[in-house]
Amino acid sequence: MPVMSHLEVRNVTKRFANVQALDDVSISFHGGEIHAVLGENGAGKSTLMSAISGFLTPDSGSILLDGASIPIGKAHDCKRIGIEMIHQHFTLVPEFTVAENLALVRLKGLVQVSNPAKLSAGAMATGKSLGWALEPESSTRRLPVGVQQRIEILKAISGDASVLIFDEPTAVLSPDEVEELFHVLRQLKSEGKVVVLIAHKLSEVLEISDKVTVLRHGKLIASALRSEVDADMLASWMVGEMPPKSPTRTSQDAQLAVTASKLTVLGDRGEFAINDITFEIKKGEIFGIGGVDGNGQVELAEALAQVRSINSGELEWEGKSFSKDIPKIGYVPQDRQRDGLALRMSIRDNMLVSGLHRPEFFAGPFLKVRSVTNWAKELIKRFSIKVEDPHELAGSLSGGNQQKVVVSRILDNDPELLIIVNPTRGLDIKATQYVHEQILSARGAGAAVLLISADLDELYALSDRTVFLSRGRMVEDQGAASLVGGAS
């Protein structure tokens, strides 16, 4: 029988300026079970997990692992006693190889002769046992997001950790990759580990968890066994009420907007990321593209957004070449931190990136600071971005609220062509519903929308037409049932 660990959170409180992030929270996490923690953005999930893993110090309360107090506020010491956190935003070194990233966590100190092949051997063996074919000499930067996540997980599970915290691990995974991850979680559970899952997708929580805890506004709302709850109950605990479903609107019978003919786009390694594809998007239509991450979705989005060159083929807007008649483009990239935000700039200034063309923000060459600040405050209110002051740094926001900043500035700009990649990654129920409504509103206003999403529920809920990318080529939709499987 495996040894069952036990993690106890007792009366933990944490406050940041005017925000009560955690308010007297007590939760028990037991080995041999998968415990899901739910809540809206800003509910306190990340703060609680950061306290457990030693990345911040609570104002009061205690945390015990197997009856002994953990080293509060000391991440390295928490890792040493067996607490590992798999972060939503990867902690990999992009310039390192797979082996070097896996070896990094096995180093005993800063001054040590490193042998990546030897130090990473255990993690590589663990990966092989899980069916993960990883090339140790591959550059991490060039790997798809799903593969990078495998490396992040291997860093955590290849050691002696007894507590494993997964922060939104399914955000950009395909259904097959999600099932693969769930296999890993069940294996960890069978070994007696404490498995904590931070999630937003209720269907996934109901499928994989043994116990569920809900936080709201920093308070513990409820903890219950999976057998005692359903989706409506969890949603009610999370937001107070279930948000109304967006009405389905038919696409406008409008003129042709985008025409891509025999389009070929190269990836970062010079490979054919997009290979001879042809498609059209009408005004007032949402054209959805799905598929396993790494099959050319990002390269296609960047080509249409005019941030990546086209290798061959034609790309037209209303029958004219993009080079002659570029539409008003709005682009929401997949990686909000790398491509969507300047984290060391204020929220207001990040929003202003898409507002620099607006004459109402300028008096001659001078910026009308008050007008811009008021506009930023209005966007913060409209998109329910949880922040007190638009002058706060974008990097201080939670992942979901960072995504809201990107989406808000793009959609407020009334684009003619909206290119949006995984728009609700990491967002809670209400925020997801609002972003969906804004995408539908853009379509209703006549925008041509290219929606690329790893979330099949989202893809089918919003798209007028759906195709899939496989190895850079388009595959027609074969129907939701075979693709979604057991998802609900």
Q: What is the pLDDT of residue 477?
A: 59
The answer to whether 6-239 and 256-484 have equal CATH topology is yes
Half-sphere exposure of 251 (CA within 13 A, CB side): 18
Domain ranges of the chain: 6-239, 256-484
Q: What is the pLDDT of residue 241?
A: 58
Q: What is the pTM of this model?
A: 0.60
DSSP secondary structure of 87-153: -SS----TTSBHHHHHHHTT-SSSS----HHHHTHHHHHHHHHTT----TTSBGGGS-HHHHHHHHH
DSSP 8-state code for residue 481: H
Q: What is the pLDDT of residue 430?
A: 74
Q: What is the pLDDT of residue 232?
A: 83
- Produce one character per residue of 56-80: b if its CB has 16 or more CB atoms within 10 Å, e if not: bebeebebebbeeebbbeeeeebbe
Domain 6-239 -> CATH class? alpha beta
- Tens of pLDDT, residues 291-306: 766 788 889 999 999 9
Q: What SS3 class is residue 168?
A: coil
Q: What is the pLDDT of residue 171?
A: 67
Superfamily of domain 256-484 in CATH is: P-loop containing nucleotide triphosphate hydrolases (3.40.50.300)
Q: What is the pLDDT of residue 450?
A: 96
> 10-residue block means of pLDDT along the chain (488 residues)?
86 88 95 92 88 95 95 92 85 89 75 73 86 87 83 85 89 75 91 91 90 93 94 83 48 78 88 90 93 82 92 91 82 82 90 82 86 90 85 85 86 89 77 84 92 84 88 67 29
Q: How far apart are CA 92 and CA 89, in angstroms?
A: 9
